[in-house]
Chains A and B, each alone.
Chain A
Amino acid sequence: MRGRKGDAGHPGGCWTMSNLNILYVEDDPRAAEAVQALVLADGDRLAWEQTGTGGLHRAGAEAFDVIILDRMLPDLDGLTIVSRLRAAGVGTPVLMLSALGRSENRIEGLEAGVDDYLAKPYEPQELVARLRALHRRSAGAVHGAVIIYGAFECHTKARTAFRSGRHVPLSPREFALFRYFMENAGETVTREMLLRDVWNMNFDPQTNVVDVNIGRLRRKLEDGFASPALETIWGAGYRLTRGE
C-alpha cells in the first residue's frame, strides 16, 4: 500500500536557496515522523513513501534534491532501489538511513551507489547537515582559487589561510580541515563528514581524535582574535563562524 503522507510545504512560504525538496522512503511511521518534524522545522519539503516500490516509482517520476532511503524495507531492499535508480539514470543524491551501521554495511551501501550513509540512531542535526552537504556536492559548487567567508580567506592554490587579512600559519592537514570548513561555510560539519572527507576514514574510531584536531585548528584561527572562529554544535559537529 502506498503510504503517502502528502507533500509538506513550508508553512511560512519563505523559501530560500537552501530549502530542499526531499523524498523519504521509510516503512517505520515513528522514524518517519521524527525526520519529517526535523526537516519541516528547517523549512524543507518532504515527500514520504512507505514502500520501496512506491519510493522507486516516485524517485523516477519527480525531481527531488535529495532522497533519504531506509535500507530494510518490507517489499524491496534499499540497496536494490539505489541500484535500479542508478541503472535508470536517476542521479539524485541518496542518503541511506539504516539500522545497519557497521563498516561493511556502509561499504555495501556506497558500492550500490548511495552517496552517503547514516546509521540509526543518529543526531537530528547530523542528518540535516548531511542532507545539505549532499545537496551542495550534487549542485556542483565550484570554488575558485580564493574562497572568502566573512573575515576568512582560503587560497586553495597557494594553500594559505588568512583571517582579517592576517596570515594564519597552518600545517597541511590543518589547511585541509580549514578548506573543508570554508567549502561548507555557514553549515554544520559533522565529525563523520570530517573523518570521511578529510581523513578518508569511513568509520568513527569512537575517540576524540577529531575534536583534538579541531581544537588545534581553532587555537590557530583564534590566536590574537577576540571572537570565536569555530562553534561547536552539540551532538552534531562544528560550524565556521564569519569570524568578524
Chain B
Amino acid sequence: MSASRARPRSRGRSIFGQLTVASILIAVIAVAVLFAVTTITVQRQTRASLSAMVSTDLAGLIDIYATGGRDELLRRVADRQDVVSLEGRRSHYMVADGAGRRLAGDIRQWPQVNAARSEEGFISLANGTAVYAQGTRLAPDLQLLAAREYDRDSTALAVLSAAFLGVGAAIVGAVALVAWFTSRHLARRMDAVNAALGAAADGRAASFPARQRGGDEIDEMAGHGARLLARQAQLLKAYKHVSEHVAHEVRTPLMHLDNRLGAAMQARPEPAGGPLGEARKDIRSITTMLDSLLDIASAESQRGDLAGLARIDLSALAGNLAELYEGSAEDAGLSLETAITPGVSMLGERMQITRLLSNLLDNAIKYVPRGGEVKLLLSDGPRVVIEDDGPGIPHDQRDRVFERFARASAPGDRPGHGLGLALARAIAERHGLILRLGDTPRGAQFILEPAP
C-alpha cells in the first residue's frame, strides 16, 4: 500500500451530502421565518382591527350617554347585545356601577379591565368566552365595557398556519429532492474522477469519465487528471527508454573490452589475481553498479505502485534465503538464527523482495565479526527484522546509511559500491513498506514493515 494512501471517505464528509443537508436546513429556516413574520403581521392586524371596532362601538355608546343620558344608554345596550357584526364577530356589553355591579348588558361580571384608565386588551369573560374588550368610566358611579369575540380570527390564523405548514413542507421536500438528485449526480461524477485518480495512484488501469455536454468544472478536473496521467506515462516511457539505452551503450563496449581481455588471457594465461583477470572483475563490478543504480531508480519510480504484484509466500522465501546464507554465516564464524512465522504472505515482486532480504543478510554477515550472531525474524504484518550483535552503525551515520554510495566505515576493506541498502529501501517503498533502523543498544537492527 502506498505511504500516502487516502483513507476512505465517510458519507458525512461528502461535500455533496453536506450541501444537501444545508439546503434542507435553509429551506426549513426560510419557511419558518416567513411563517413567523406572517403570523405576527396577521395578529397585529387583527388586534388593530378589533381595537378599532371596540373603540368605535364604545364611542357610539358614549355619544348615546352624552345625548340620551343613563337610561337611554341602558336601554340601547340591552338592544345591542344580540347584534352580530358583519364580519361575524359577536359583541358583548356591560354597564356597571362604580363598584362593578351589572346594570345592563350580557356580561355578568366586570372583568379585569380598569375603566378609569380606559384599558383594552384580550381577556376571558366569566363564562370563558375569549374577547377583545375596552372599558371606560362615564361617571364616578357608571362604567361601560364593550367587547368583541375574535374566535373567527383565530380560526383564520389556524387555517393560515395549516396552509403554511403544508406549503412549507412541500417546499422543503422539493428542495431536498432537487438537492439530493443534484448531489447524487455530482457525487457520482466526482466519485468516477476520484476512482480514476485512486486507481492511477495505486498503479491500476485508470479511465476518466467521458466529458459531458458543455463541460463543467468536474469535466475540467477529469481532463487535467487524464493529461497528468498521460504525461506521467510518457515520462516513465522516456525514463525506461533512456535507461535501457544507457545500459546498452555502456555494456556493449564493456563486453567488447571483456572479450578482448578474455582472448588475451587465453593467449597468455596468467596466475589467479593477474592484471587481466582483475580488469575483467572490474568490468563486472562496473556493470553491477550500473544495474543497481538503474534498479534503484526503477524501484523509486514505482513507489507505492502495486501494479504487477502477486501474492508471494514470504515465509517460504525467507526460509529459502536463510538456508542459502547459513553456510556463509557458518564460514564467517557466525550463528544465523531464524524465527519465521509460517504462512506470512504479501503482495510483492518475488525477485525484488528476495533481493531486499538478501542485501540485508549479506550486509549483516559482512559486518559482524567472528563469534557474532545474526537473527532473521519474520512475523505477521509482514514484519521482518534482521538484527545482529556486531559493531552496529555509528550514530552520525544512521541518517545516511540508506543513501546511494553510503558505506559504513568499518575495519577492513569491504567490497561493494554502497548501493545495497539504498536499493533495499527503494524496493521496500515500491511495495508500500518502510525499511528503517531500529534502536538497539548494540549491533544493527533493520526493520521492514508496512508504511504507517
Residues of A within 8 A of B (CB): 28, 30-31, 34, 72, 99-107, 119-124, 173, 199-203, 205-209, 212-213, 215-216, 235
Residues of B within 8 A of A124 (CB): 262
In-complex Cβ contact of B294 among A102, A120, A203, A215 (8 A): A102
B248 touches A72 (CB 8 A): yes
Q: List 16 A-B contacts (CB under 8 A).
A: A30-B256, A30-B259, A31-B255, A31-B259, A72-B248, A101-B247, A103-B352, A103-B355, A119-B251, A121-B255, A201-B358, A203-B351, A209-B328, A209-B362, A212-B328, A213-B324
Residues of B within 8 A of A (CB): 244, 247-248, 251-252, 254-256, 258-259, 262, 280, 283-284, 287-288, 291, 294-295, 298, 320, 323-325, 327-328, 331, 349, 351-352, 354-355, 358-359, 362
Query: B364 to nearest A CB, angstroms?
Result: 12
Given the interface pairs A200-B320, A203-B354, the reply to whether A99 lies near B328 with Cβ below 8 Å is no
In-complex Cβ contact of A203 among B259, B320, B355 (8 A): B355
Complex Cα distance A21/B248, Å?
A: 28
Complex Cα distance A87/B302, Å?
A: 30
> Which of chain A's residues has its CB closest to B362's CB?
A207
A212 touches B351 (CB 8 A): no
Residues of B within 8 A of A30 (CB): 256, 259
Complex Cα distance A173/B319, Å?
A: 12
B287 touches A101 (CB 8 A): yes
Complex Cα distance A105/B325, Å?
A: 26
Complex Cα distance A208/B358, Å?
A: 12
In-complex Cβ contact of A102 among B256, B283, B295, B320 (8 A): B295
B328 touches A208 (CB 8 A): yes
Complex Cα distance A39/B38, Å?
A: 105
Complex Cα distance A208/B280, Å?
A: 17
- Main secondary structure, interface of A, reads loop
In-complex Cβ contact of B251 among A99, A203, A209 (8 A): A99
Query: A221 to nearest B CB, angstroms?
Result: 15
B355 touches A205 (CB 8 A): yes
A173 touches B323 (CB 8 A): yes
Residues of A within 8 A of B283 (CB): 121
Query: B263 to nearest A CB, angstroms?
Result: 8
Given the interface pairs A30-B256, A203-B351, the reply to whether A209 lies near B325 with Cβ below 8 Å is yes
B287 touches A121 (CB 8 A): yes
Complex Cα distance A17/B287, Å?
A: 36
Complex Cα distance A227/B244, Å?
A: 47
B324 touches A102 (CB 8 A): no
Given the interface pairs A102-B295, A103-B352, A205-B362, the reply to whether A121 lies near B328 with Cβ below 8 Å is no
Complex Cα distance A102/B251, Å?
A: 12
Residue among A30, A107, A119, A209 having the largest count of chain B Cβ atoms under 10 Å: A209
Residue among A28, A102, A202 having the largest count of chain B Cβ atoms under 10 Å: A102
Given the interface pairs A206-B288, A212-B327, the reply to whether A99 lies near B255 with Cβ below 8 Å is yes
B320 touches A99 (CB 8 A): no
In-complex Cβ contact of A34 among B259, B328, B355 (8 A): B259
Given the interface pairs A121-B258, A212-B327, the reply to whether A28 lies near B354 with Cβ below 8 Å is no
Residue among A119, A121, A200 having the largest count of chain B Cβ atoms under 10 Å: A121
Query: B316 to nearest A CB, angstroms?
Result: 9
